[in-house]
Amino acid sequence: MDAVIFAGNSNPDLATKIASNLKLPLGKAEIIRFADSECRVRIEEDVEGKTVFIIQSLSNPVDEHLMEFLLMGDAVKRGEPKKMVAVLPYHGYARQDRIHRPGECLSALVVAKMIESVGFDKLVTLELHNESILGFFKIPVVHISGLEIFRVRVKELEGEVVVITPDAGALKRSQKFAESLDLPLALIEKKRDLDRAHKILSMRVVGEVKGKTAIIVDDVIVTGGTLMNAAFLLKEKGAKKVIAAATHADFVGGADKILQDSPLDAVWVTDTIYIPPAKNFPKLKISSITSDLSAAAGKMIK
């Protein structure tokens, strides 16, 4: 086979599943860290003339995973592959897609430039915070919606269901999800403190949720704060059940405990980011994104 997959250290489980699904070998690479934390990568395979996929989720610790991924790309590129494809199940820095205050950097653009400068020919990624960052890339990008996977689950729910947008920025995504299921939509107006990371100033519900099962649709969970606050608010407004459906779960700190102890009835996520057993909790349901990513990658080796 003239294709090979290399896995970074962020989510080897998912890379192994994709490789097995596509019946492709997992390439050997040496990734070491020096005492001062610098990374060095060496590809231990002949990649000349091959289609090479490098799979890495840019999850926490984001910079470590990003640097490792870029160095893997450089090592592969020097081996003269036919095509080099970046597979980023979770695209870190995608939330920094705009300049909110004067003087801020445009991080998502910087990361896009870094990826292109290494020489990737194509990018496959999932559930970007905002599709507008696709415009930051000159190379073709295959953007998959991770939410498709939750549709089947929603269809199995009984009673009235309403889709919830957790903030105005997520409106397009939840609107699409609600329309595809022919469900009504309600909005949570969330104001963040732009001077303090992760600090929510206020939230209010716009729309009817009383007696319904509310599905909060989001791209990523980090601290769990957005969902916990939204769940309290929705239950206060009379929602019968509250379920969170988020593609990426980059749990930090006590996010697992916060979500388990919250008024949420269930938390649906995918495996774009590796969730260690210690961070799993009874309300969490993890669906695998393997077949979606395998299908996208499979088309490139035909």
Catalytic residue annotation: 190
Which amino acid would we find at residue 224? G
SS3 156: coil
Contacts with ligand R5P by CB under 6 A lie at: 95, 129, 166-167, 169-170, 198, 218-226
Based on CB atoms, which residue is closest to ligand R5P, 227 or 289? 227
Based on CB atoms, which residue is closest to ligand R5P, 4 or 170? 170
* Residue 13 C-alpha from the chain's centroid: 15
Token pair listed for 164: 């919830």
Please, what is the minimum distance in Å from the beta carbon of residue 111 to ligand R5P?
A: 16
Contact (Cβ atoms closer than 8 angstroms) between residue 249 and residue 275: yes
Q: What is the secondary structure of 97-142 as a DSSP string?
A: -S--STT---HHHHHHHHHHHHT-SEEEEE--S-GGGGGG-SS-EE
Please, what is the minimum distance in Å from the beta carbon of residue 194 to ligand R5P?
A: 12
Contact (Cβ atoms closer than 8 angstroms) between residue 234 and residue 274: no
Please, what is the minimum distance in Å from the beta carbon of residue 126 to ligand R5P?
A: 14
Q: 281: closest CA among 300, 302, 262?
A: 262
Based on CB atoms, which residue is closest to ligand R5P, 165 or 294? 165
Measure the CA–CA gap between 269 and 32, rounded to whole angstroms.
31
Token pair listed for 266: 């269930």
Q: What angle do CA 282, 126, 25 make, to 5 degrees?
A: 90
Which amino acid would we find at residue 30? E
**If phi over 0 gives left and psi between -120 and 50 gives alpha, with beta otherwise, what is residue 194?**
alpha
Based on CB atoms, which residue is closest to ligand R5P, 163 or 297? 163
Please, what is the minimum distance in Å from the beta carbon of residue 229 to ligand R5P?
A: 8
Based on CB atoms, which residue is closest to ligand R5P, 147 or 297? 147
Contact (Cβ atoms closer than 8 angstroms) between residue 124 and residue 142: yes
Please, what is the minimum distance in Å from the beta carbon of residue 3 to ligand R5P?
A: 34
Please, what is the minimum distance in Å from the beta carbon of residue 67 to ligand R5P?
A: 22
Contact (Cβ atoms closer than 8 angstroms) between residue 189 and residue 203: yes
